[in-house]
Amino acid sequence: MNEVVIVDAVRTPIGRYNGALKTIRPDDLGAVVIEALLERNPNLPPSEIEEVIFGNANQAGEDNRNVARMSTLLAGLPVDVSATTVNRLCGSGMDAVIQAARAIAVGDGDVYIAGGTESMTRAPFVMAKPEKEFPRGNMEMYDTTIGWRFTNKRLEEMYGADTMPQTAENVAKRYEITREEQDEFAYASQMKAKKAFETGRFEDEIVPVKYVDRKGNEFIINQDEHPRPNTTKEKLGKLRPIFKEGTVTAGNASGVNDGASALLLMSAEKARQLGLKPLVKYVGGAAAGLEPAVMGLGPIYSTQKLLKRTNYSIDEIGLVELNEAFASQSIECMKQLNLGEEKVNVNGGAIAFGHPLGASGARILTTLIHEMKKQDTNLGVATMCVGVGQGISTLVENI
């Protein structure tokens, strides 16, 4: 098996819903991070790239018809560089990295670009075709930004069709996680993010996004838009819960966001040939399933499977990026994995930054890698829950 290394990792700033990135298509966002990898690594001839693998969770709008291929062409890569899009919902971007690493390991190619792109702002409304011609009555339309659509009734009878906030409430209720605990966790995420911005912690990973408005004015977006550095525990405590008598609020949940991220993977031998210095070694990846109603616990099972597969213990892991879909599930995942606060999301998490679905897995892995280099941490894990009951995790080793 070939040794797999990650040479570079970048991401766009994360845009707020209907915010700074609202005019930029998801395929264009994907092209931005691909182009950035090429610019940052001039020793890499584009012709050496075997394939681009991108994750995307929506695929109902401008990200339809294999968005990875569209981003590849928009980035100016040779037409013979193939591309494919994967969909594991929230875990799509991480799944793309794992698939690329496995392909390199078995010799299917030496160089891959993997990541994800998502514009939740630009997600379309959709409706099904009628089953008979000229139907009467109102037609049902879905907002594809997030959540179920065209639900299989048989599946719903078997497992339910809880919304994402409902699954977070299920976790909070099952494990008796209070509103105060969730708000405290959310506040800590925002404060860590504030400190990280003030100290320039993300300068190595963020690449600017340029766009031109209808009047021809050019704008450059180079900073995450979602964090709320001025929030307080009191403000968080005043937010209404999403459900009556519930504990999950907009303040202790991740956002609805836009963004893209990409990583450059290759065999260790190819990196040596090209004179490129790797950041980390890819050690392994794993996914696991669980009951959809508590999908937020997925990182527990995928991380346990990953550590068993790679013969490491949780105590040997120096840093962890745990995607904060919701505070409730993050708290319980940390508890069951025996993860101390000092090693998890040290620069804040998705509650502060936001969660652009198909890009988030690649984003948290990118953030993890750059923080490992700064702290000289030996081993790091990126992990996240996935809608409809899954978890996915990746382990990397510093070089």
pLDDT tens per residue across span 227-257: 999 999 999 999 999 999 999 999 999 999 9
CATH homologous superfamily, domain 4-122+254-398: Thiolase/Chalcone synthase (3.40.47.10)
Instruction: Establish whether 385 is a catalytic residue.
Output: yes
pLDDT bucket at 78, cuts 50 / 70 / 90: very high
Strands 51-55 and 82-86 come out as: parallel
Are 359 and 97 spatial neighbours (Cβ–Cβ below 8 Å)?
no
pLDDT at 211: 82
pLDDT at 360: 99
Are 68 and 53 spatial neighbours (Cβ–Cβ below 8 Å)?
yes
Relative orientation angle of helices 179-198 and 327-337, to the nearest 10 degrees: 90
Tell me the pTM.
0.97
Residue 215 clears pLDDT 90, i.e. is over it:
no
Catalytic one of 226, 333, 370, 385? 385
CA distance 272 to 293: 47
Catalytic one of 226, 333, 355, 370? 355
**Residue found under tokens 């009734």:** 153
Q: What is the pLDDT of residues 57-72, one digit of tens each?
A: 999 999 999 999 999 9
pLDDT at 216: 84
Query: What is the average per-residue pLDDT within 283-304?
Result: 99
Query: What is the average per-residue pLDDT within 135-147?
Result: 93
pLDDT at 214: 80
Q: What is the pLDDT of residues 361-399, one digit of tens each?
A: 999 999 999 999 999 999 999 999 999 999 999 999 999
Are 52 and 265 spatial neighbours (Cβ–Cβ below 8 Å)?
no
Average pLDDT, the chain: 98
pLDDT at 264: 99
pLDDT bucket at 348, cuts 50 / 70 / 90: very high
In the structure encoding, which two tokens stand for residue 265, read together? 């993977």
Domain limits of the chain? 4-122+254-398
Q: What DSSP assignment string belongs to 369-398?
A: HHHHHHHT-SEEEEEEEETTTEEEEEEEEE
Instruction: Establish whether 370 is a catalytic residue.
Output: no
Query: What is the average per-residue pLDDT within 298-305?
Result: 99
Strands 257-267 and 379-386 come out as: unpaired
pLDDT at 197: 97
The neighbour count for residue 175, using CB atoms within 10 Å, is: 15
136-150, 186-200, 280-294: lowest mean pLDDT where? 136-150
pLDDT at 283: 99
Catalytic one of 90, 226, 333, 370? 90
CA distance 175 to 64: 39
Residues 6+ positions from 106 with CB-CB distance below 8 Å: 1, 2
Dihedral angle, C-alpha 237, 242, 243, 245, nearest 10 °: 0
